[in-house]
Chain A
Amino acid sequence: GENVEQHPSTLSVQEGDSAVIKCTYSDSASNYFPWYKQELGKRPQLIIDIRSNVGEKKDQRIAVTLNKTAKHFSLHITETQPEDSAVYFCAANNAGNMLTFGGGTRLMVKP
């Protein structure tokens, strides 16, 4: 089945710096790659997603890139702010068209 690896598990940056989180997937048939943000004690919420027919997608300060050949995708956050502090999860759809999630990255933005 699908396996999604996410790195790093924790990331600490200064406010205003950029943050990059990387994920790899195993199933070459995967074609949908969402990113969810989970603030402390809250529910996960979708922040951006990308489909396999595009290589990059941007939404204000966040962007996602996809390399289908290498089977990896990344989340980029620019000009980080304290409210970006959260756990971020990547995911990929699997053969059963369900989502397989990565292990999560705890991002801490220091003011």
Chain B
Amino acid sequence: NAGVTQTPKFRVLKTGQSMTLLCAQDMNHEYMYWYRQDPGMGLRLIHYSVGEGTTAKGEVPDGYNVSRLKKQNFLLGLESAAPSQTSVYFCASSFLAGGDEQYFGPGTRLTVT
């Protein structure tokens, strides 16, 4: 099992450019999450999904969109990147909701100049 994978691993964008981060999991998990990690601020939830075809806003959703067309994939989109979106992005998945272990992907380091 590959677990949770993310592509790309690194990316540099100019302000105003767009991009999509891809997360895939092979554990048949219902729940998937996108977090951003900034120094001293822990992991903050951007969007999450409770199943195929569903998405919901987390703590810091502004400037991001998501889609979950297939159960195993969860996409995070930045339509018009801003320097404030420079961060490390982690995808995670779990079988159940907030009371279950979350399995994280390796992360994507995004720099917006």
* A interface with B by C-beta (< 8 Å): 1, 4, 6, 9, 31-32, 34, 42-46, 49, 51, 89, 93-94, 96-104
Contacts and interface: CB of A to CB of B under 8 A. Distances in A.
Given A43-B104, A44-B43, A51 B99 contact: yes
Contacts, number: 52
Contacts of A99: 45, 98, 102
A97 B99 contact: yes
B101 A49 contact: yes
Contacts of A49: 101
Given A43-B90, A43-B104, A43-B105, A97 B40 contact: no
A99 B97 CA distance: 9
A9 B98 contact: no
Given A43-B107, A44-B90, A89 B98 contact: no
Contact of A98 (B42, B48, B104): B48
A37 B57 CA distance: 26
Nearest to A32: B99
Given A45-B104, A99-B102, A101-B44, 4 more contacts: A43-B107, A46-B101, A97-B98, A99-B45
Contacts of B104: 43-45
Interface string B71-98: 0000000000000000000100000011
Contact of A89 (B42, B48, B101): B42
B105 A32 contact: no
B102 A102 contact: no
A89 B107 CA distance: 16
A46 B59 CA distance: 21
A99 B41 CA distance: 14
Contacts of B61: none
A93 B45 CA distance: 12
Which residue of B98, B102, B107 has the most chain A CB atoms within 10 A of its CB atom? B98
B40 A98 contact: no
9 contacts: A34-B101, A43-B107, A44-B43, A94-B98, A98-B33, A98-B45, A100-B45, A102-B42, A103-B41
